Chain A
Amino acid sequence: MNVQGRPTRPETAASSARGTFTGNRGLDIEEALIFETGRIDATGVDIDEPAPFRSKLGPHARTTAIDLPGLSEPEAVRHYVRLSRNNYSIDAGIYPLGSCTMKHNPRLNEKMARLPGFADVHPLQPVSTAQGALEAVEALANALLTMTGMAAVAMSPKAGAHGELCGMMAIKAAIEARGEGATRRVVLVPDSAHGTNPATAALIGYSVRSVPAGEDGNVDVEAVRAALAPDVAAIMLTNPNTCGLFERQIVGIAEAIHAAGAYFYCDGANFNAIVGKTRPGDLGVDAMHINLHKTFSTPHGGGGPGAGPVALSSRLAPYAPVPYVVREDGALRLVEHAEGGASFGRMCAFHGQTGTFVRALAFILSHGADGLRQASEDAVLSANYVRASLNDVMSAPFGERPCMHEALFDDRWLKDTGLTTLDFAKAMIDEGYHPMTIYFPLIVHGAMLIEPTESESKASLDLFIMTLRDLAIAMRAGERERFQSAPVHPPRRRLDETRAARQPVLRWTKPRPA
């Protein structure tokens, strides 16, 4: 999820006086770059010199030195451990980024992904020797079909945005097969959508027609009807949407879209709210990607890898990309070429994020039908608990209406304080919390989107709520300087993001001799 709408720039040059010789403060260590501490001849890997042999590189041998320093193992371990300590993590505290779904990452899943029969299997091994890995792919695919109620699932997309691209390519292929490729060139996108939706539509040559959200945060079926025309290929609608609300008119919207000869792409980023409660296939969805790193808790890893399988309706299933797994005579087979079918092509080399599939499968098997449903319910319960507990000190754009898995606030409550959503977020950092998603969705002014997930205990939620109430009251009481200078306690104060963009320094270079 994207939250970087507002670049920060330090308002006041705070004192740079440091209390220590090293610049370190207790456990908070200033760590140099490997290029400043490593040596070009150092290495932390012992490799025997090979016996004499006759090179076959010919004229292609590298003749220049590579400017890469090395570190011994103890130096390398210390470097990365020190760096890690400057990161917030879900293992250390609530990570309430709305639309990002930062839930607990079970370590069993890591252990399972490292089993040699999954991790040490080459994607192009003879298929007869990769049956265990293929079984994991098939088992996850079947579970996703059960949860979505759809006809097929394309497993290969590597992330949510890649899944969107896959789903929209399937739609484009279906439209071309109908002979309407030249006429249907528009995709309807609500103005509350993730930025990836319009970017995906544009990538395959479609133009975007915006659909406004209604006063209640939902897309209105009448607004969709008004935007529908014979040039429309599809709608891309997030459900539950980016305001954390279930699209109440989704069935009517699906019917209107289908009646107009278009397809319904559902952004499944928020599927975690409804697993075991309703099935997208029953709601009229034609394609929906599933972020395994959100709903099924594969680790976000500081920005990936994710995985974005796409569930497809029977109308789109024939156009699914290769490869896919089929079961024949008790054995699993990989279909790697279109074999004369209507497949639109290929999303990536090999078969997708198998290592991620194994983690998601372990999550699903652990939860089972009862646990998955309970997880959805607890996520929704916790979000509503936060909403109901903050409603009197903050402002909710859609009043008392219950939310799904995330609670949305706007910045009306900050009016006349001279303070912003960003100031609130930065003050949360001083309190030891990762901030919520801010300035998204774009349709809500100064948006603050809080997703606690099902992983928080009530005690954790209560402390979080009390902290936010305390901050909100202090902001309304006019403690401007405190909030504008926040954060003061983490390893870094606010960064000069404007300088980073205006004078980009994107790699280390040797300093010139003084």
Chain B
Amino acid sequence: MRYLPLHASEREAMLARIGVLDIEALFADIPADKRIDGLLDMPLAKSEMAVERAMTTMASRSLAAGSGPFFLGAGAYRRHIPASVDHLIQRSEFLTSYTPYQPEIAQGTLQVLFEFQTQVAALTGMEVANASMYDGSTACGEAMLMAHRLTRRNKAVISGALHPQYADVAATLAHMAAEKLVRLPPDVTASEDLAAAIDNETSCVIVQSPDFFGNPRDLTPTAAAAHARGALLIAVFTDPVALGAVRSPGEMGADIAVGEGQGLGNALNFGGPYVGLFATRAKNVRQMPGRLAGETVDAAGRRSFVLTLSTREQHIRREKATSNICTNSGLCALAFSIHLTLLGAAGLERLAKVNHANAVQLADRLSAIPTVEIVNAHFFNEFTLRTPRPAAELVEALARRGVIGGLPVSRLLPGAGLDDCIIVASTETNTDADRAAYAQALSDCLSMKA
């Protein structure tokens, strides 16, 4: 087996040094009647070529997003990732190192995390950020728990335009921790009254902007209403590129900003691994979950970086820890950070502008189709269509024509009365030909008998 370096003769010599007759002697603690003689139902070892052949065949049964016009977002975005990003994250020293517990031989990872934290803080307009979380949805859940700790209250108010799966994650956590959660009804047009839902028991209000349906929101009044009642504002975003075009959570008064970072540096990967971004005000840092890299000096007085404030964490505090999390999403955070370093503010703003421009052009084309209506007064790169046919059926019909046309809202919110809504996204990867193909396919599907 190509991955196992020991030879049979070496195994014999090693057993002799240990002083046992055979390998089974080392497994003697396993009760005899519970031992198995290998995995009988499983095939035997395969060559690299054979594995590659089998898995390539398997992969070919998916439609790759890049193979045709593609307009799906809803929390994950197809972006052009510079070739250098994927090259650099595959450097052995980044790919095959562990969490940087021995800082003398892990300054590469630690400096990257320090730079990542600074970038996330700048992007969100917040003061400090951690070294990343599993993804946006779990970052959002952890932010809710952090708000409970900071306010010593346990009731979260959740906007009706938070990504429904983020809201489901928060609801599961709240149920399991016996905490309260008020989930407002789906809000397609950003018209809900969040302030009215806040009372003196509320720990936090969780609002997404641009929201699930694509509406950018002014969170300033919500922040003021929350703060007036002693509650916190948690601002959520699902595409970091949006922050190149819209006002940042920090500017609008958020106490905690969390989001999905996949949209920079990371492929779609059918849902993971992604990278959760988590930022807050400096005064809250000791209640923040997750790993933190900090600056210090070594014995020679040289600037160095190290994991710090670990007294918040589970390996020191055990059941009193701020969270049970013990890793970040290191390699995905690295990819995010490299992509953002390559872009810089100038590149990010330009990228955001192209995303927005492409979405506006798409909206113009689609809204020219009679019977199709765009719900949003404003949007960044994603908007909601109302169509005269059930959206789920329409999206399937579009897929049969090779166009991935967006997300039927009913897939994530069944029974919410939004069966005629499709959420459509555009990124810099879409061309004018893609948009024309979508408009034509949609027009054709709608003119067919339902």
Contact = CB atoms under 8 A, between A and B. Distances in A.
B292 interface: yes
Contact of A358 (B55, B86, B103, B294): B55
A450 to B, nearest CB: 14
Contacts of B86: 114
A50 B430 CA distance: 12
Contacts of B35: 277-278
B340 A368 contact: no
Contacts of A85: 93, 108
10 shortest interchain CB distances as A-B pairs: A70-B344, A117-B59, A301-B331, A350-B271, A2-B315, A345-B172, A123-B271, A305-B273, A132-B62, A91-B92
Contacts of A434: 98, 102, 105
A303 B345 contact: no
Interface in B316-333: 316-321, 323-332
Given A365-B55, A370-B44, A303 B318 contact: no
A71 interface: yes
A336 interface: yes
A257 interface: no
B350 interface: yes
Interface residues of A, number: 218
B168 A345 contact: yes
A10 B64 contact: no
Nearest to B396: A126
A111 B52 contact: yes
Contacts of A202: 319-321, 324
B294 A504 contact: yes
B45 interface: yes
B299 A494 contact: yes
B104 interface: yes
A444 interface: no
Given A349-B165, A426-B104, 9 more contacts: A68-B122, A70-B343, A124-B412, A129-B404, A307-B272, A369-B44, A371-B45, A434-B102, A500-B308
B94 to A, nearest CB: 5
11 contacts: A56-B356, A60-B378, A66-B123, A112-B55, A161-B326, A345-B168, A350-B137, A369-B44, A373-B38, A374-B4, A460-B5
Contact of B23 (A81, A89, A162, A381): A381
Contacts of B10: 458
Contacts of A201: 319
A417 interface: no
Interface string B142-166: 0001000000000000000001011
Given A366-B46, A381-B11, A388 B324 contact: no
Given A68-B122, A122-B78, A136-B58, A355 B102 contact: no
B244 interface: yes
A309 interface: no
A321 B245 CA distance: 36
Interface in B263-308: 267-273, 275, 285, 291-302, 304, 306-308
A87 B347 contact: no
A475 interface: no
Contact of A91 (B96, B122, B428): B96
A235 to B, nearest CB: 15
A95 B105 CA distance: 12
A496 B304 CA distance: 9
A492 to B, nearest CB: 4
Given A16-B301, A369-B44, A87 B108 contact: yes
Interface string B231-262: 00000000000011111100100000000100
Interface in A223-240: none
Contact of A62 (B118, B248, B295, B411): B248
Interface stretch (B24-32, B197-205, B442-450): B24-32
B420 interface: no
A200 B177 CA distance: 11
Interface residues of B, number: 213
Given A59-B218, A60-B378, A302-B331, A133 B62 contact: yes
B344 A42 contact: yes
Nearest to B402: A129
B178 interface: yes
Given A66-B348, A305-B331, A368-B44, A112 B324 contact: no
Given A112-B52, A159-B134, A198-B318, A349 B163 contact: yes
Main DSSP-derived SS at the A contact region:
loop
B115 A80 contact: no
Interface stretch (B13-21, B221-229, B433-441): B13-21
Interface string A340-356: 00001111111111111
B111 interface: yes
B185 interface: no
A303 B328 contact: yes
A358 B272 CA distance: 11
Given A2-B326, A125-B404, A350-B271, A277 B36 contact: yes
Interface in A52-98: 53-71, 73, 76-77, 79-81, 83-92, 95, 97
Nearest to A252: B31
B62 A118 contact: yes
A195 B18 CA distance: 32
A203 interface: yes
A135 B14 CA distance: 41
Contacts of A194: 315
Nearest to B10: A458
Contact of A87 (B106, B127, B273, B378): B106
Nearest to B6: A378
Kindly name the residue among B7, B326, B347 whose own CB sees the greatest number of chain A CB atoms within 10 A: B326
A90 B91 CA distance: 12
Contact of A304 (B1, B13, B34, B327): B327
* A48, A205, A380, A507: residue with the most chain B Cβ atoms closer than 10 Å: A507
Contacts of A348: 134-135, 137-138, 165, 169, 272
B59 A118 contact: yes
Given A58-B377, A104-B3, A402 B294 contact: no
A62 B247 contact: yes
A491 B118 contact: no
Nearest to B107: A86
Given A304-B331, A355-B273, A381-B26, A346 B168 contact: yes
Contact of B51 (A42, A102, A366, A506): A366
B109 interface: yes
Contacts of A352: 271-272
Contact of A506 (B128, B351, B354): B128
Contacts of A366: 1-3, 45-46, 48, 51
Contact of B345 (A65, A123, A205, A250): A65
Best-surrounded residue of B41, B172, B273 (most CB of chain A within 10 A):
B273
Contact of A346 (B17, B165, B331): B165
Given A87-B106, A117-B58, A345-B172, A57 B356 contact: yes
Interface in A420-443: 425-426, 429, 434-435, 440
